[in-house]
Each structure stands twice: as C-alpha cells, then as structure tokens.
Amino acid sequence: MTRFLQVKQANASVLEPYAGRSLYQNHGQRVVAGQRLMQSASDIFLGWTRSKDGSRDFYVRQLRDMKISVIIEGWDVDMLRTYGKMCGRALAHAHARSGDAAMISGYMGSSETFDDAICEFATEYADQNERDYRAFLKAVREGQVEVLVEP
C-alpha cells in the first residue's frame, strides 16, 4: 500500500491575542496535541517539525483524501435540521474529549451566567451571519463577487 504524507504549515493560533501564547514551543505540536485530544484514534504518522532556519512550524499527517459528503440537494427542512443536529452533536462530542468535566463543572458553578452568555453569543452570531449573507448577496448583485453555478 502506498502512503503519502502531507506537511502543513502551522501558524500561531487565532486565540493567542486573547488567550496568550501557546504552552507548546512548536505550533505544529499544538495542532497535533489538539488532534490527539479530539480523535479517539488519530493518525499513526501524526507529528510535527520545524524548518531548518527555525522560522516556520509544521505538522505532518498521513494524506487520506477520502473526504465524502452527503448530497443535501432536495432535502426538506426536517432532514436538514436533523442532519445539522447530528453534525453539531458529533463536533461537540469530539471537543468534549479535550476537557475535564469535573473541573469545568466546578469552574462554571450552578448559576445561569454561562448559559445566558452562550445564548447571547449564539443570538449575536446568528444576527452577524445574516448581515454577512446580506452583504454577500449585495456584492453578487453589484458584480463584486462572481458566482459560478456548476451542473
């Protein structure tokens, strides 16, 4: 069996301006550690390295271009909603592997502060998404963005 390795540059996390520098000295190592936390069985070739001059970090993984997706054209609202819930649940479970439930629960406490904050964020995020979509449609109408429709 032929195996291909993919080498991808790993830059600083987008969270660094808010959460501080990573605990990892190599950004590739940070990416690899995150993938190992979220994937129950990660790639055996998963690793990290740095360029010879030390200016760039990378992570290495086995290239498996077997990405598939469901064909959602023709689905009704209920099917789309169910599919969205399933995707969200799978993503939440993957991310939940990276935390210590007891520590998080203790940190959160029993008040509704976090629940309220998440609801407020979700509402504002949905509103921003709608504004972005309207701006996108306007850009399409004004010819600033070209739209190609594939058969």
Percentage of residues in the chain having pLDDT higher than 90: 52
Owning domain of residue 122: 111-151
In a domain, 129, yes or no: yes
Mean pLDDT of 96-117: 82
In a domain, 88, yes or no: no
Please tell me what DSSP assigns to residue 19.
Answer: H
How many domains does the structure of the chain reveal?
2
Judge whether residue 107 has pLDDT over 90: no
Task: Give tens-digit pLDDT for 14-37.
Answer: 989 988 999 999 999 999 998 888
Residue among 69, 124, 118 at smallest CA distance from 92: 118
Please, what is the average pLDDT of the chain? Answer: 87
In a domain, 47, yes or no: yes
When pLDDT is cut at 50, 70 and 90, the band that residue 56 belongs to is very high
Judge whether residue 93 has pLDDT over 90: no
Return the exposure string of 3-39: e unless at least 16 CB atoms fall within 10 Å of the residue's CB, then b. eeeeeeebeebeeeeeeeebebebbbbbbbbeeeeee
In a domain, 33, yes or no: yes
β-strand 5-10 against 57-62: which pairing, if any? antiparallel
In this predicted structure, what is the pLDDT of residue 148? 84
Report the DSSP beta bridge partners of residue 47.
Answer: 60
Give the largest CA-CA distance in the chain.
55
In a domain, 93, yes or no: no
Q: Are 98 and 37 in contact (CB under 8 A)?
A: yes
In this predicted structure, what is the pLDDT of residue 75? 92
In a domain, 106, yes or no: no
In a domain, 144, yes or no: yes
In a domain, 86, yes or no: no
In this predicted structure, what is the pLDDT of residue 2? 65
Please give the Cα distance from 67 to 63 (Å, whole number).
11
